[in-house]
A and B are shown apart, each in its own frame.
Chain A
Amino acid sequence: MVFSSLPFLFFFLPAVLIAYFAVPDRAKNAVLLIVSLLFYGYGEPVYILLMAGSILLNYFAGRLLGVFSAQPKKKKAVLVLCVIVNLLLLGFFKYATLFVSTLKVLPAFSFLPDPQIALPIGISFYTFQSMSYVIDAYRGNCAPQKNLVTFGTYVALFPQLIAGPIVRYVDVEKQLQTRTHSWEKTTNGVRLFLFGLCKKVLLANALGAVWDQCKAAPGEQPTLGAWVGILAFTFQIFFDFSGYSDMAVGLGKIFGFEFVRNFNYPYTADSITDFWRRWHISLGTWFREYVYIPLGGNRKGKARQCVNIFIVWALTGIWHGASWNFLLWGLYFGVLLTIEKFGLLRLLKQAPKALSRAYTFLLVVLGWVLFDFTALGDMGAYFSSMFTAKNGLTTPDALALLMTHLPLLLCAAIFSAPTARRAFTSLKDRRAYRVLEPLAGAAAFVLCTASLVSSTYNPFLYFRF
């Protein structure tokens, strides 16, 4: 189930709110666990078993780590085994198809059958969450969770279950035991949820329709059309993903949780290094904490640091989807980050802000071409549409596409920057605000509902991951 859908908004959410606030505090986690499993099973009921298996595996691994707390060797064995099983599950369900189809390119393996595995929704997210728990429990950063319901709630918690943020166990350990609920927190949560819903439904979906038109014929776009298309996708993926994160964090607040912020105006970054501190922050943190630093980070010399950077970025790329273009996309950023580390960053710091931001934005936009074309041929054709005039500079259709979506693109640009938020904060203490905010919220919600009712076009980009 996705948040921006009618069944979620008008059936699941009201029912969950009633159930959650009707029960006493000690039963709240159990309610969350049950509804989260229902939420997860809505699309593919059989995968509830997978989820339950993943919860049990990591729960018992945590318990064993507690039992062996004085026996480092056994402790290490438990950790290694648990991480391997987690990765095998992820590998099997997410990458088996890619692995087999790639092997089949070799004549010797052409007999292999195509594995028919439907990707379990959110597996990349909850596997990483669970691993953060076992690794931190091993390191002694948190105590093993003895209560299975509490632990299950952490893994399956529906707000962040299918598209993040990737919440580390250590960040919510206390909140899982005791958390407070208040109307103030709830109001903040509703505000953020509505904001995220608008980003997803009003901006991302409309931008997605523009991109779909351009993407359908990658080799036939005039230069203008190709740029309008990739700009639309650039904004679409941001509003899609950050909208979902906002909704997740907002829902979390309603249920008393404080999750980490996942996006911080990434398109205003002034270097690629800065961009990755602002984009999908929880994933970056995860790779830093559990891959980059354990590999030695920057403490073992420049050469080793380079290797580490490339390992992390290859993994980051392929985490985004089981297709080789994602690896390419990850490595592209690996190269850019390495170049920045070895000098460019210093230059960028001295350059005018407008220039360094333009540099960053342009490279990120080019990256999205790598990201969204799984076929290399289409990718190349699209690049050549962007940078040559082989289909002409513009056509009436490309111009119409731009002009009929200019207000949308401008809105997208405004909401990608902190401008809107600053205006909002400056108004906050005005008296009229108290009346206007609920009115604006209600109007926004009605518009989102109208949009959802009027179209079934509602695919979530991050479902694949």
Chain B
Amino acid sequence: MKQPKRKPVLAQCFFAMLAVLSVFFALPKQSFAENEKRLLADPPQFSLQALLDGTLTAQAQTYIADHFPFREAFVGLHAYADQLFGMNGDSGVIRGKDGFLFTQQGSVSTQKETQNIEKIRAFAAQTGMDTTWMIVPASGAMLGEKLPRFHKSFCDDALLDAAKQAVGSDAFLDVRSIFAPLDTAKLYYRTDHHLTADGSRALYESYCAAKGLPVQTFTKTRTSDGFYGTAYSKSGLWLTKPDTLDIYEEDGGDYTVTITEGTESKTYDSLYFPAHLAEKDQYPVFLDGNHALVKIENHRCSNGKKLLILKDSFAHCFATFLAANYETIYMVDLRYCRLPVREQLFADGVTELLVLYGAENLATSTDVAWLTLI
């Protein structure tokens, strides 16, 4: 029997898809990717030099990848296809229960962590500052019940134990025991690695108790229901429902915030930057996100207490509470700070030091060495 002639539907389908996506590529381009928080590539600039040394084609490749039509939809499709295939975590984010997204840990060693701790201890010894340590474990390490059955393990316990041993248990406020009696699921964001305002508040109250400071009164002044954190952006799981972000303000607070980047300083009269509530990632509402040096002056406080916080972004929300108890707080982020501020700290009479880091950050940071510079 003669085979009936088949229609070349598959080939036509394929060619049609190539054609459609190529045509879509001609549509106007965005210049900024909000989820990735970066500028997208500019069109490649032709030059003979660029052509010959291969940079032209490299630029073209980045440009095509950055401006691919329906880019985010494709990324999302891939993320959900991975989930369907059981590959939870391959994107660097573990999808947990109840809409929790956990940032997966890279390779972390207590050795590097202890080195960093020693550098900070040397700095504290030189400056004679009274030092307190708070190391925040990753959400995945604290929310075991929200994790899927199989996942890459979190080594925060080991990191915190090593830190506790290195600095001594007197100076170490163990975040694990602070959180133990509380409902941990409310202390971390679902779509972000940071602590919620409630989580930061719990730390604040413990800190006050340990240092003999009076706990001030705060009122929830604002709530956002549209916060998509960095774990969300990284995951591609676009259907995850957004987080709630609360802001507590001190009753009658009166602050001046000075933010320094390089040689430039700007002054603000609030700890909160509500403009960021219009963005996807709203965490920078606290102290405007990452900056090299931030100085907070409390005009209602004249107890003479002055504090330096060596920190990463875990401290941003926390500092909006602690600012109520200190006349002046300096926050130094060693990832960005290359300023010689030591003199200023001495002149201003800063006598206390708080080291507040996410555990993984402290254990992997290569920037702690810059301490000798400041």
Contact = CB atoms under 8 A, between A and B. Distances in A.
A and B associate in one complex? yes
Interface stretch (B72-80, B254-262, B353-361): B72-80
Interface stretch (A293-301, A331-339, A370-378, A442-450): A442-450
A403 B153 CA distance: 13
B107 A453 contact: no
A456 B78 contact: no
B14 A194 contact: yes
A102 B16 CA distance: 53
Of B5, B51, B90, B107, the most chain A CB neighbours within 10 A belong to B90
B78 A442 contact: no
A397 B94 CA distance: 13
B341 interface: no
A438 B13 contact: yes
Interface stretch (B59-67, B117-125, B170-178, B220-228): B59-67
Contact of A187 (B6, B61, B81, B152): B6
Contacts of B54: 43-45
A5 interface: yes
Of A44, A184, A450, the most chain B CB neighbours within 10 A belong to A450
A434 B6 contact: yes
Nearest to B3: A429
B90 to A, nearest CB: 6
Contacts of B25: 10
A454 B82 CA distance: 11
A447 B82 CA distance: 10
Mostly, the A contact residues are helix
Contacts of A184: 5-6, 8
Interface in A13-59: 13-14, 17, 42-46
Contact of B65 (A189, A441, A453): A453
Given A17-B15, A434-B6, A404 B52 contact: no
A445 B21 CA distance: 12
Given A7-B64, A45-B51, A441-B14, 12 more contacts: A6-B65, A183-B11, A190-B10, A209-B90, A399-B150, A404-B150, A405-B86, A434-B6, A434-B7, A437-B10, A453-B71, A454-B75
A209 B19 CA distance: 31
A453 B87 contact: no
A190 B68 contact: no
Nearest to A455: B78
A186 interface: yes
A404 B78 contact: no
B85 interface: yes
12 contacts: A7-B57, A7-B60, A45-B52, A400-B89, A403-B149, A404-B150, A408-B86, A437-B9, A441-B14, A442-B17, A449-B74, A451-B81
Interface in A321-351: none
Enumerate the 9 nearest inter-chain pairs by beta-carbon distance, A residue then B residue, closest first: A183-B8, A453-B74, A450-B78, A454-B78, A403-B150, A400-B150, A450-B74, A450-B77, A454-B75
Interface residues of B, number: 46
A446 B151 CA distance: 28
Interface in A198-246: 206, 209, 216-217
A397 B153 contact: yes
A70 B19 CA distance: 54
A103 interface: no
Interface of B: 5-11, 13-15, 17-19, 21-22, 25, 51-54, 57, 60-61, 64-65, 68, 71, 74-75, 77-79, 81, 85-90, 107, 149-153, 236
A441 B90 CA distance: 25
A187 B11 contact: yes
A173 to B, nearest CB: 27
Interface residues of A, number: 52
Contacts of B21: 10, 449
A404 B14 contact: no
Nearest to B9: A438
A183 B7 CA distance: 8
A113 interface: no
Nearest to A254: B11
A447 B81 contact: yes
A107 interface: no
B107 A216 contact: yes
A442 B17 CA distance: 8
A352 interface: no
B111 to A, nearest CB: 14
A46 B53 CA distance: 8
A397 B8 contact: no
A445 B14 CA distance: 8
Contacts of A454: 74-75, 78-79, 236
A187 to B, nearest CB: 4
A209 B87 CA distance: 11
Contact of B152 (A400, A437, A449): A400
Contact of A400 (B17, B77, B153): B153
A131 to B, nearest CB: 28
Nearest to B75: A454
Contacts of B236: 454
A206 B85 CA distance: 11
Interface in A177-203: 183-184, 186-187, 189-191, 194
A438 B13 CA distance: 7
A168 B11 CA distance: 28
Interface in A404-449: 404-408, 434, 437-438, 441-442, 445-447, 449
A206 B57 CA distance: 26
A434 B5 CA distance: 12
Given A187-B8, A187-B10, A10 B90 contact: no
